Each structure stands twice: as structure tokens, then as C-alpha cells.
Amino acid sequence: MAEENVVVQSQADMWELIFAFGDSMVLKSAMKLGIADIINKHGSPITISQIAEEISSSPSLDINYLFRIMRFLVSKRLFTSEHKDGDTFYSLTHCGKWLLRDAEFTLAPLLEMQTHEWWLDTWHHLDKCVLEGGVGFEKAHATGLWDFASGNPEYNKLFNQAMACTAKIVVNAVLSNYNGFSGVTSLIDVGGGTGMMIREIVKTHPHITGINFDLQHVLATAPDYPGVVHVPGDMFVQIPQADAVIMKVAKKELRLNGRNYYKMEDFLHTKSFQFQHYNLLLKLTQ
Ligand SMILES: C[S@@+](CC[C@H](N)C(=O)[O-])C[C@H]1O[C@@H](n2cnc3c(N)ncnc32)[C@H](O)[C@@H]1O
């Protein structure tokens, strides 16, 4: 590449990086306006005026902003646009469907949490983490993640819903790929959030008694599920006994209740399981 082209290209790359936050912010706006759900409910390609009508009947709605959001998200392949009879018709792509709120499988709650000011604030401390060590969340909020959630019901809900939506996707992959539940009669999900993962396992394997173990403030908002008992507690103190443990963690090894847990390699290496880098099925050693 000629030198002047290298300079132009590198500058373009840098502009893209500088404005990368815009991707998340536009996505967040689209999610808050419910655009994906509007398109989905319509059932066929839809014009921008039809989307606008569904968003609000307010005369102050600015369709130019909406147009720019749509154009951007078409370029990001969340929506497609088709020009017909002098108008533009928008549809959802497979990627756009993850933005649906009104869907069994969705990543909208994760987007909502990750783009919330509480979570974004932590990124502003990344340089300090390098200089001083420590955790960005604690620097931003002067308290740990779990304590913050326990004192802030809105954040607690935001966080738990974000976890539950990813747990639903993960457990679906687990249930289609893992055959080891037949010999298990009681299963505990340690740090199981509001119980999405264990609920789905027990629904598919009703011979299992499910225990959902998490902190008190999380379980206070957890729905009741048939076959699942919610048990509050601190995993670093004690967890209830069960045949097996399931846990979505980043660590590869763990010691709980004075026992070692190990990961089940066959589970981790199932071909279609997309979250193997941070999901481990752990079982009590003898
Ligand atoms: C990353 S979230 C995962 C939630 C759930 N397993 C999932 O995959 O959706 C970690 C969970 O661990 C819980 N947790 C954190 N510290 C804990 C502790 N000391 N004892 C029990 N649960 C804890 C949190 O409240 C949170 O629900």
C-alpha cells in the first residue's frame, strides 16, 4: 500500500475505534425503542413510518434520528432494507432477533446491563486497574459487585435478568449435548442466580431434585419453579449436599466444602457447545 494510503487507512481505523462506543449506544437505543419487536410483530417487511407509529404517537418523535438508527443497524447487519414502490422496507436478520425482548431466547437483558451507566462507569477505571491493580467495579462504585446488588434492587434485577438470559442459552446447549444427568438424583447450581439453569434441567430431567444456591438478595427475587428449591447462602462458607454441582464460572478449579471439584472434559468438548470457555460442569470427587 502506498504511504499516503497507509496514513489514510490507519486514520480511518483509529476513527472507527474512537467511535466504537457508538455501536453499543445505537444498539441500546434500538432495544429501548423496541424496534426489533415491532418489526417481528409486524410479520412482514415494514416501513420506517410504520415503525415510528408503533414507537410513539407523539408529534415530537424525530423520524430523522430513527432513520439514522435504522441505516446504521442495516450496515451492522441487524436489519435488512429493501427498496420497493418508492419506499424502504425493513426486516430482521438472525443477529437482529437477539434484540427481541418478547422471545424465549434473547440477549436484550445482557445488552441492557452492559450498556447501563453503572456498568459503563467501571470501564473508565481500566487504566487505574493497570496502574494500581484492583477491580474496576469497586473503583467506580466504592463497593463490590455483590454488595452493590444487594443494596440496589434495580441493579439486582438488571444483573439477574442479564444472567438468566445467557443461562437460558447455555442450558439449552447443555441439554442438547450432555447425557450425564441420568445418574444424578440431586443437582445444585452454585451461584445459580434466579434459577433459570436448574429450572430447565429439572424440566427436562424431572427425576432430579434441583437446588438453586445463591445469595439472599438474589433469591428474594427468584420465581418458584416446580422441582427446584432455592437455598440462600455463601458458597465460600458451605453449600448444601447434592449428587452433583453445576456452575457457570471462569475458574478452572475450585475447592468448596473442603472438597475438590473437577471439570468434565466430555461436556466441555461437545462440538456445538459455544460457551465452553467459561462454563464448567463440576462433579464432586470421591
Ligand atoms: C456471574 S453470576 C452467574 C449466575 C448464573 N449461574 C448464570 O449463569 O446465569 C454469579 C452468581 O454468583 C452469585 N454469588 C456471588 N458470590 C456468591 C457467594 N459467595 N455465594 C453464593 N452465590 C454467590 C451471584 O449472586 C450471582 O448470581
The residues spanned by each domain of the chain are: 3-98, 179-284
Q: Which of 50-64, 84-98, 150-164, 269-283 is least confident?
A: 269-283
Q: pTM (2 decimals)? A: 0.88
Q: Is 191 a pocket residue for ligand 1 (Cβ < 6 Å)?
A: yes
* Residue 98 DSSP code: G
Count Cβ atoms below 10 Å from residue 56 Cβ, excluding itself: 10
Counts for the chain of helices (H) and strands (E), in that order: 14, 9
The pLDDT tens digits of the residues spanning 3-44 come to: 888 999 999 999 999 999 999 999 999 999 999 999 999 999
**CB of 261 within 8 A of CB of 286?**
no
Please state, for a pLDDT cut of 70, what percent of the chain lies above it: 86
- Per-residue confidence band for 264, with pLDDT thresholds at 50, 70 and 90: very low
**Cell numbers representing residue 68 in the block:** 439514522
Atom of ligand 1 nearest to the CA of 196: 9
**Cell numbers representing residue 115 in the block:** 450498556
For 19, residues 6+ apart whose C-beta sits below 8 A from its C-beta are none
Q: How far apart are CA 33 and CA 44, in angstroms?
A: 19
Q: Is 199 a pocket residue for ligand 1 (Cβ < 6 Å)?
A: no
Residue 191 CA, ligand 1 centroid: distance in Å: 3
**Cell numbers representing residue 174 in the block:** 447443555
- In this structure, the chain runs to a length of 286
Q: In angstroms, how far is the first alpha carbon of the chain from the final one?
A: 62
Q: Is 236 a pocket residue for ligand 1 (Cβ < 6 Å)?
A: yes
Give the type of residue at 54: E
Residue 213 CA, ligand 1 centroid: distance in Å: 8
| Pick from 249, 193, 184: nearest CA to 225 | 193
Q: Is 218 a pocket residue for ligand 1 (Cβ < 6 Å)?
A: yes
Q: Is 219 a pocket residue for ligand 1 (Cβ < 6 Å)?
A: no
Residue 170 φ then ψ, to 5°: -65, -45
Q: What is the CATH number that goes with domain 179-284?
A: 3.40.50.150
Residue 132 CA, ligand 1 centroid: distance in Å: 26
User: DSSP per residue over 42-81, as a string?
Assistant: H-S-B-HHHHHHHH---TT--HHHHHHHHHHHHHTTSEEE
Confidence (pLDDT) at 245: 81
Confidence (pLDDT) at 163: 95
- Per-residue confidence band for 239, with pLDDT thresholds at 50, 70 and 90: confident
Residue 193 CA, ligand 1 centroid: distance in Å: 6
Beta-strand relationship, 254-256 and 244-247? unpaired
Instruction: Give the residue, out of 114, 119, 135, 146, with the most ligand 1 atoms within 8 A of its beta carbon, to mutate for a pocket test.
Output: 146
Averaged pLDDT, 84-101: 96
**Cell numbers representing residue 14 in the block:** 483509529
Instruction: Give the residue, out of 147, 169, 235, 256, with the most ligand 1 atoms within 8 A of its beta carbon, to mutate for a pocket test.
Output: 235
Give the type of residue at 91: S
The pLDDT tens digits of the residues spanning 166-209 come to: 999 888 888 887 777 888 889 888 889 999 999 999 999 999 99
Segments in 76-206 forming alpha helices (H): 108-114, 117-123, 126-132, 136-141, 145-150, 153-177, 196-204
Please state, for a pLDDT cut of 90, what percent of the chain lies above it: 70
Q: How far apart are CA 279 and CA 174, in angstroms?
A: 10
Residue whose CA is closest, atom 23 of ligand 1?
191
Whether 233 shows a pLDDT value over 90: the answer reads yes
Residue 218 CA, ligand 1 centroid: distance in Å: 8
Q: Is 214 a pocket residue for ligand 1 (Cβ < 6 Å)?
A: yes
- The CATH number for 3-98, chosen from 3.20.20.70, 1.10.730.10, 1.20.58.2030, 1.10.10.10, is 1.10.10.10
Q: How far apart are CA 190 and CA 95, in angstroms?
A: 31
The pLDDT tens digits of the residues spanning 95-105 come to: 999 999 989 99
Q: Is 192 a pocket residue for ligand 1 (Cβ < 6 Å)?
A: yes
Q: Is 165 a pocket residue for ligand 1 (Cβ < 6 Å)?
A: no
Sheet holding 228-232, edge to edge: 228-232, 209-214, 186-190, 244-247, 280-284, 259-263, 254-256
CA-angle at 269, arms to 266 and 271, nearest 5°: 125
Confidence (pLDDT) at 276: 38
Q: How far apart are CA 70 and CA 74, in angstroms?
A: 6
Q: Is 248 a pocket residue for ligand 1 (Cβ < 6 Å)?
A: yes
Residue 58 CA, ligand 1 centroid: distance in Å: 42
The pLDDT tens digits of the residues spanning 210-225 come to: 999 999 999 999 999 9
* Residue 92 DSSP code: E
